[in-house]
Amino acid sequence: MQAKQSVNDFVIKFANVNGTGSASANSMFAKAIFRMGIPVSPRNIFPSNIQGMPTWYEVRVSQDGYLGRRGGIDIMVCVNPQSIKRDVAEVESGGYFIYDSTKPLDLRLIREDVNYFGIPFTDICLREYTDARQRLLFKNVIYVGALSALLNIDFNVLKDLVADQFKGKEKLITPNIYALELGYQYAVTHFECPIGIHLERGHKLAKHIEDFDNILMDGNTAAALGAVYAGATVAAWYPITPSTSVVDAFDKYCRRLRIDPGTGKKNYAIIQAEDELSALGMVIGANWNGARAFTATSGPGVSLMSEFLGLAYFAEVPTVLIDVQRAGPSTGMPTRTQQSDVLMAAYASHGDTKHVLLFPATPAECFSMTVEAFDLAERLQTPIIIMSDLDLGMNEWMSPPLEFDGDFKYDRGKVLSAADLDGMEERFGRYKDVDGDGITYRTYPGVHPDKGAYFTRGTSRDEYAAYTEDGDEYVRNMDRLLRKFETAKSLVPEPKIKQSEMETRYGAVFFGTTASPAYEAIEILEKEGIDLDTLRIRSFPFNHEVEQFIREHDRIFVIEQNRDGQMRRLLLNETSVPAKEKLIPILEYNGLPVTARKIAGMIRNYVTHGNVTPLTRRSATEEISA
Amino acid sequence: MTFVKPAFRHPDAPLNELGRSRQDYEGGLSTLCAGCGHDSVSAAIIDACFELNIEPHKVAKLSGIGCSSKTPAYFLSGSHSFNSVHGRMPSVATGANLANRDLIYIGISGDGDTASIGLGQFAHVVRRNLNMTYIVENNGCYGLTKGQDSATMDTGSPNKKGDINMYSPIDLARLAIEIGATFVGRSFSGDKQQLIPLIKAAISHRGFALLDVVSPCVTFNNHSESTKSYEYMRGANTDMPVDFVPMRQEITATYDSGATCEVCMHDGSVVRLYKQDNDYDIEDRQSALEATNHYAKEGKILTGLLYIQRDSEELHDVLGTARRPLNSMTEQQLCPGPRFLDSINAGLR
């Protein structure tokens, strides 16, 4: 049997029982590889449950710096007998299966083409510890220690991580390091270490990681920090997976940064609302009154918030909403990822509505786009929805460091002060398009004793905010809102375009967490002679660059993680695409982050079986069929 | 607006301490049905704010949807107003109050807006003790959709078509007392003498103040059998007259001490109540519930200040927010700047 061999390039998966403390051990494993300067991307694949159910942790190690899921498992670390059957089956031929050998392995689980490494984790724990809780927790640390030997993880890095983890609880450091050593010693004594797949520090420079200045961070924490930097003072929310950690992190940073040292009082307010409707109502009330406010939720919450999104759109109240998408519809798969809120978010609410969407693809973008969202919301006086997802929000991603320009100044949009009102000769009209960009001037309540008061309403109104059922006034207002949406095109983040080295008339469009595996898939295909230009959408409304990209290519693969090709439909709706056939849906919607192999396979399949002419001037078909 | 109010002002119209006349507290012309109880409530709000010397721009008016929720357009035109969505005014008011604790928040709602679609938000704004005045213009029916029964309609009370309501009513005042409201009053739109001082006391109260005001719907629910009609209310109303003495004013009058109860409010104002029943302690929840229940059993509706908790922690106290309004914080105060970000990045490597 051929055992797989590779350096700094593999996929390892841990099969655990949830609620047993495996998450922190697994996270330490990934961070150790990261600290060795080797690109790594870990992912939790967890159940909607607190204790006792199977849970997995998949870690991609990629010398080249690919951060999306690759597909396939090279090494399985199985510490959960519940899922062992499917875990064995999932290992690729030539791969490795590390398991608890306290009890002999069922013969039916032995595959000829897999390398087995049995380590008696339970036995070691029973021997070493008397306390049941310790036996459970240290088992995780022991397998990390064993992997340190098997995969050649720098043991000193692990020791440092333990010290970091237990800062303030120093008495736990020695026992944890001892547990690491137990695993390490067992592995070096019983196996030839390292195994064929392993790590090497400074092996060669990663292709996509220019210098190793990266950070390891989850998108929700980054978005929360963005809200702090943007000066958000009010957060109202309702707990929902996978967005909960956004407000948790906002709370954490505010406790650190926003308590007045003199009075001990808070320069912020966080309310856990009774539901998502109320959460968004509070955000709208606070923004109306001149504070920057936001909420974070997931699809089911956005459904409930649709009513208020319509109000904020029509009454023109700035609003920031972070949607950490999960698999729908309805309760769907609450702990699985998807990009399936695109259409709902774009058009949320009854009547003619359109909302500005931002699509971050990295934690650095979760941070920068959240900062930007507050400016956009106030400049455009409309809801801004940040479309994150579970994969980006809850998993740790290698990301460029967070950046913040020291000269950056908040743009609070068109707000009239008391002095502005005093200086005005004409009558203040809240909905009067003075500048022709569709954006009108607003005032904060209480600003002036006699001027600037107006009536905010979800009903139709004239330019002076008075109720009207006059059809012409209504149409004028609706058209102005459309003009404002047009203005938004010049303000929202522009797409990222990458041209193929070969001239090609074919392109790929994607957004958010689909970007990493898509870029990798494009490189896989390039080697096969299938060349594609790419465009990563970063916002809606689509600006002229998106239009142009579509115009300039004959076939465009729209890669996304939902069933119905929602971004494709939005593109068909909101750009001047001449024909439906031009946009080819490439879809994955099983709730796990889409893999590079899957994307490459679907595009390849289309090219080879789709009865289309070769995508480049090269004769691609021969190479592919070979 | 098709109708415009005359700008004429009587030269001898009295001015308040701010030099403003009552007219400065008015709003647009009402488009409600002639005789609607809600217009009396609007007038009472105007009187209360005028007499309390409130600067109109320091008030924020909020409402939901329905006839009642239209009324903020008919008073205090110098105030900002937010006519939000059906049953959701409490959340908008909460956000607004969090942003600027220095304004006076007056919420106007109806029985449909509060007791049906908005019951959830109502319950939670009560729990949070948001510093606001919440007035329910309660007529037992949905006026704007032509008279359907609402959740406050009494069991056995017929609607205009003659259908008898067989569902159990929600008594908002009692509910609010149960779930922790710190100021609960009930009144009748036809009783200005009681309503104006009650509104003043509600505005002066620090925390959540509910006023459940029976305000008859002249078009759909004012027939003689209705328990929300003018006629019925005039018969059933067991009123406890209320006086409100603003802070700094000397209390001059003396009353029969037996049935009088004076409550000194947070800002030093005094609210005085003339009780029907001497054993009733308006600072005791249980006593308040028993009193309203006692009169209800006799087919009477007890009105006045039903319950007050003088000192309570309003939402900002609970949250520990800064005394300065959050909407006045500057970028320098709020943004940690690039150097802190360096330390964040360093901690993530």
Q: Residue B100 and residue A289: Cβ atoms within 8 Å? A: yes
Rounded Cα distance, B301 and B321, in Å:
40
Output Rg (C-alpha) for chain A, integer angstroms: 27
Environment class of B328 (CB within 10 Å of its CB; exposed 0-12, middle 13-18, buried 19+) = middle
Q: Show me where the domains of chain A are located.
A: 6-212, 216-399, 414-493, 496-625
Please give the pLDDT value at position B1: 42
Spell out which residues of chain A touch residue B57, defining contact as CB-CB under 8 Å: 445-450, 453
Number of folded domains that form chain B: 1
Among A48-52, A294-298, A363-367, B57-61, whose mean pLDDT is lowest?
A: A48-52
The C-alpha angle A542, A545, A547, rounded to 5 degrees, equals 65
Please give the pLDDT value at position A361: 97
- Percent of chain A scored above 90 by pLDDT? 92
Quick one: tokens of B221? 């629910």
A183-200 mean pLDDT: 97
How many Cβ atoms are within 10 Å of A490's Cβ, its own excluded? 11
Across the interface, of A215, A311, A466, the residue whose CB is closest to B349 is A215
Q: Residue A445 and residue B79: Cβ atoms within 8 Å? A: yes
Is B9 part of any domain?
Answer: no
Please give the pLDDT value at position B4: 64
Whether residue B255 has pLDDT greater than 70: no
Please give the pLDDT value at position B326: 98
Under the banding of pLDDT at 50, 70 and 90, the label for residue A210 is low
Q: Residue A405 and residue B85: Cβ atoms within 8 Å? A: no
Q: Residue A265 and residue B81: Cβ atoms within 8 Å? A: no
Is B297 part of any domain?
Answer: yes
Is B15 part of any domain?
Answer: no
Whether residue A623 has pLDDT greater than 50: no
Residues 6 or more apart in contact with residue B23 via CB below 8 angstroms? B9, B13
CATH code of the domain containing B281: 3.40.50.970
More confident: B265 or A154: A154
CATH topology agreement for domains A216-399 and A496-625:
yes
Please give the pLDDT value at position A516: 96
pLDDT digits (tens, 9 = 90+) for A111-142: 999 999 999 999 999 999 999 999 999 999 99
pLDDT digits (tens, 9 = 90+) for B269-280: 999 888 877 789
Whether residue A619 has pLDDT greater than 70: no
- Percent of chain A scored above 70 by pLDDT? 96
Looking at the DSSP assignment, which residues form a beta bridge with residue A62?
Answer: A9
Whether residue B250 has pLDDT greater than 80: no
Quick one: tokens of B340? 């802190």
Is B17 part of any domain?
Answer: no
**Coil, helix or strand at residue A553:** coil
pLDDT digits (tens, 9 = 90+) for A372-397: 999 999 999 999 999 999 999 999 99
Is B8 part of any domain?
Answer: no
Alpha-carbon dihedral of residues A64, A68, A72, A75, nearest 10 degrees?
70
Spell out which residues of chain B touch residue A269, defining contact as CB-CB under 8 Å: 98, 316, 319, 321, 326
Under the banding of pLDDT at 50, 70 and 90, the label for residue A579 is confident
pLDDT digits (tens, 9 = 90+) for A140-156: 999 999 999 999 999 99
pLDDT digits (tens, 9 = 90+) for B190-199: 999 999 999 9
In this structure, whether the domain defined by A496-625 belongs to CATH 3.10.129.10 is answered with: no
Q: Specify the fold of A6-212.
A: Pyruvate-ferredoxin Oxidoreductase; domain 3 (3.40.920)
Contacts A–B by Cβ distance under 8 A:
220
Range of the domain at B88: 22-347
CATH classification for the domain delimited by A216-399, as one of 3.40.50.970, 3.40.50.1360, 3.30.420.40, 3.10.450.50? 3.40.50.970
Among A200-209, A318-327, A560-569, B105-114, whose mean pLDDT is lowest?
A: A200-209
User: For A367, which residue in chain B has the nearest alpha carbon?
Assistant: B341
Under the banding of pLDDT at 50, 70 and 90, the label for residue B2 is very low
pLDDT digits (tens, 9 = 90+) for A458-504: 999 999 999 999 999 999 999 999 999 999 999 999 999 999 999 99
Average pLDDT, chain A: 94
Is B4 part of any domain?
Answer: no
Across the interface, of B92, B93, B99, the residue whose CB is closest to A291 is B99
- Cis peptide bond upstream of A194, omega within 30: yes
Please give the pLDDT value at position B145: 94
Is B173 part of any domain?
Answer: yes
pLDDT digits (tens, 9 = 90+) for B209-221: 999 999 999 999 9
Whether residue A214 has pLDDT greater than 80: yes
Q: Residue A245 phi/psi, 5° resolution?
A: -70, -10
pLDDT digits (tens, 9 = 90+) for A237-253: 999 999 999 999 999 99
- Rounded to the nearest angstrom, the minimum Cα separation between A391 and chain B is 18
